[in-house]
């Protein structure tokens, strides 16, 4: 069979989902192809490739782009089998009844994907394949979720008329989690690298594990863990030998200078366990590249940091998420004291480890709580800026909160009337303006400006005047477009020279700057293009939160 994967865009992180699914398909003898909507002509690729199956993997926000792409595929040929997997259909499997897909994949679909391909090629029924929802089996494997119905009724949400928002898959229809990752094939990076800039860009992404046991309310992992309760351990990872074998092969095939481990949690234990001990010994010998990883401030210790450093750790991220204790621990449920955060970042500072911190702006707080604390919505965001400065974070990122399905924080926002529950209005990037209705236009402007100016304030922690100027004057001015350019330069410098240090030629650096600046602009400005460019299918054609659809001539 010919399998065509459709991706909205490829930036600087490997689309590992597609690379794995392609490798799994090739294991079964199928041919795989890739269309990138921001660069390719889908109609032309359909005529050229004549695929038997077209596959989409969607996060909420970009799902509407794939809905439109699926319509184009079905217009070209209704006989082409189309399937959507990823987080959006996992939490909204009912979309199979409202959109013209032949199937949706729910949860971990490694084995279900291969079984689906085998069945289609052999002409067998696919309706009994676990994790694969079809129109024929939907009535049996989907069930109403009363919690969602109650929430949309409380908010009077437009979502209440969309049946896909009120359905979830029966957990008995899900296979157990894959607990042995070593049997997975190496990622098929060739599929992506042969037609994108990633072949030349020496930063490589890898997932050494799956799963996260924590309860952060802005993340879908807690809901995912509930779905998979009793179906295997939450956290599973590659053996050190298998992990290093793939990275060594990657290093040999493609010019590679730095590894970005993209795990939800690279280390879970405050102790130096056997896996980390082996990693600290084997990785430098077999791979020998500096790397970046993610952990939590209340997990990092002097001992496990020393082991990571022996392995080649250059930089790490420990999300702060909120400077205010109530917001961080009651609303976001990070369960982390301020002193733990400051101690962990001090430990990194003392050991020369470059740090990246994610801190969320625009987390809605109920009015009665703000009144009790004597704070405004923006006061919480300023607290988040200040804790990053105190922690001497190398690169602080300040995204504006967006509500995503499967997240407790989204349910909280809908319940209290901060969000109407209509996910189809969300923009693909969480860096756009806040979608919450509880903020005034002035507050939304200040949040967006602080997300651009905050990294500069943290970059120069001793320049207290810059922080004060930002908080008291700059973030209140309608100069967001102007602030974008110093933010972009700071981000580029911090990424390429500090967090993920890369040696790039001047030509390569210029080429990547030209490639990325339009994409960064679009993430923050849904309704504007930085320069004139051909309108493509990945552009929204309907209303999106953050502004009207882009004008092709703007």
231 and 368 fall within a common domain? no
**pLDDT for 120:** 97
CATH code of the domain in which 380 resides: 3.30.750
290 and 326 fall within a common domain? no
**pLDDT for 549:** 31
What residues make up the domain containing 81? 2-173
330 and 380 fall within a common domain? yes
For the beta sheet containing 354-358, the strands, ordered from the edge strand earlier in sequence to the opposite edge, are: 203-206, 258-261, 291-295, 313-318, 354-358, 395-397
**pLDDT for 532:** 42
What letters, b where the CB count within 10 A reaches 16 and e where it falls short, cover 374-384?
ebebbebbbbb
**pLDDT for 548:** 30
Which two tokens mark 55? 């596959």
Axis crossing angle, helix 42-49 with helix 63-76, rounded to the nearest 10: 50
341 and 468 fall within a common domain? yes
Query: Where does residue 333 fall: left (phi above 0), alpha (psi -120 to 50 degrees), or beta otherwise?
Result: left
Which two tokens mark 6? 């459709």
309 and 337 fall within a common domain? no
268 and 345 fall within a common domain? no
C-beta of residue 502 within 8 angstroms of C-beta of residue 205: no
Domain's final residue, options 502, 527, 542:
502
Rg (CA), the chain: 23
* Within-domain flag for 550: no
* Within-domain flag for 386: yes
**pLDDT for 431:** 56
299 and 355 fall within a common domain? no
* Within-domain flag for 236: yes
304 and 336 fall within a common domain? no
306 and 346 fall within a common domain? no
* Within-domain flag for 485: yes
Q: Number of structural domains, the chain?
A: 3
**pLDDT for 3:** 97
**What is this structure's pTM?**
0.89
**pLDDT for 162:** 56
* Within-domain flag for 394: yes
CA distances from 413 to 75, 144, 210 (A): 38, 21, 28
CATH code of the domain in which 243 resides: 3.30.750.210
230 and 134 fall within a common domain? no
List, run by run, the mean pLDDT of 10-residue segments along the chain (554 residues).
94 93 96 93 94 94 90 96 94 91 95 96 96 94 67 48 70 94 96 93 95 92 91 95 97 96 93 96 98 96 97 97 96 95 97 97 95 96 97 96 85 88 68 81 95 96 94 96 93 94 90 80 57 47 35 34
268 and 309 fall within a common domain? yes
140 and 30 fall within a common domain? yes
* Within-domain flag for 105: yes
């Amino acid at each position: 069979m010919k399998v065509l994967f459709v991706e909205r865009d490829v930036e600087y992180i490997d689309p590992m989902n597609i690379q794995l699914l392609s490798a799994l398909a090739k294991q079964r003898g199928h041919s795989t192809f890739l269309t990138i909507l921001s660069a390719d002509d889908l109609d032309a690729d359909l005529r050229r490739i004549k695929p038997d199956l077209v596959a989409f993997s969607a996060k909420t926000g970009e799902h509407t782009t794939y809905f439109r792409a699926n319509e184009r595929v079905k217009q070209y040929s209704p006989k082409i089998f189309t399937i959507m997997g990823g987080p959006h259909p996992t939490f909204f499997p009912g979309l199979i009844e409202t959109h013209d897909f032949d199937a949706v994949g729910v949860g971990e679909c490694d084995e279900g994907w291969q079984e689906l391909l085998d069945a289609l090629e052999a002409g067998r029924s696919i309706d009994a394949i676990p994790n694969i929802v079809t129109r024929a089996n939907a009535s049996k494997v989907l069930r109403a979720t009363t919690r969602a119905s109650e929430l949309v009724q409380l908010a009077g949400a437009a979502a209440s008329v969309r049946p896909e928002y009120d359905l979830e898959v029966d957990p008995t229809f899900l296979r157990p989690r894959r607990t042995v990752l070593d049997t997975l094939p190496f990622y098929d990076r060739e599929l992506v690298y042969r037609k994108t800039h990633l072949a030349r860009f020496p930063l490589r992404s890898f997932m050494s594990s799956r799963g996260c046991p924590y309860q952060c309310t802005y993340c879908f992992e807690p809901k995912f863990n509930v779905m998979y309760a009793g179906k295997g351990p939450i956290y599973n990872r590659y053996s050190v030998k298998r992990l290093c074998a793939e990275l060594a092969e990657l290093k040999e095939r493609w010019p590679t200078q730095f590894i970005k481990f993209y795990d939800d949690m690279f280390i879970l234990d405050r102790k130096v366990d056997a896996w980390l001990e082996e990693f600290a010994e084997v990785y430098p010998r077999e791979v020998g590249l500096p790397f970046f990883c993610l952990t939590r401030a209340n997990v990092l210790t002097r001992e496990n940091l020393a082991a990571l450093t022996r392995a080649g750790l250059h930089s790490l991220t420990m999300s702060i998420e909120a400077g205010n204790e109530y917001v961080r621990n009651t609303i976001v449920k990070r369960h982390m004291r301020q002193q733990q955060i400051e101690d962990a970042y001090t430990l990194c500072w003392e050991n020369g480890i470059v740090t990246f911190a994610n801190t969320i702006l625009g987390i809605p707080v109920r009015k009665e709580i703000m009144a009790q604390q004597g704070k405004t919505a923006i006061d919480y965001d300023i607290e988040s800026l200040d804790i990053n400065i105190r922690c001497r974070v190398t690169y602080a990122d300040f995204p504006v909160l967006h509500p995503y399905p499967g997240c407790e924080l989204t349910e909280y926002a809908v319940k209290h009337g901060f969000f109407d529950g209509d996910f189809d209005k969300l923009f693909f990037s969480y860096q756009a303006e806040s979608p919450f209705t509880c903020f005034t236009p002035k507050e939304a402007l200040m949040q967006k400006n602080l997300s651009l100016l905050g990294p500069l304030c943290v970059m120069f922690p001793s320049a207290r005047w810059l922080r004060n100027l930002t908080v008291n004057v700059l973030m209140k001015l309608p100069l967001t477009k102007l602030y974008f350019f110093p933010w972009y330069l700071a981000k580029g410098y911090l990424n390429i020279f500090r967090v993920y240090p890369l040696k790039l030629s001047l030509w390569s650096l210029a080429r990547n700057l030209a490639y990325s600046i339009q994409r960064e602009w679009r993430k923050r400005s849904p309704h504007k293009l930085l320069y004139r460019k051909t309108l493509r299918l990945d552009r929204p054609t309907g209303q999106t939160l953050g502004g009207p659809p882009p004008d092709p001539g703007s």
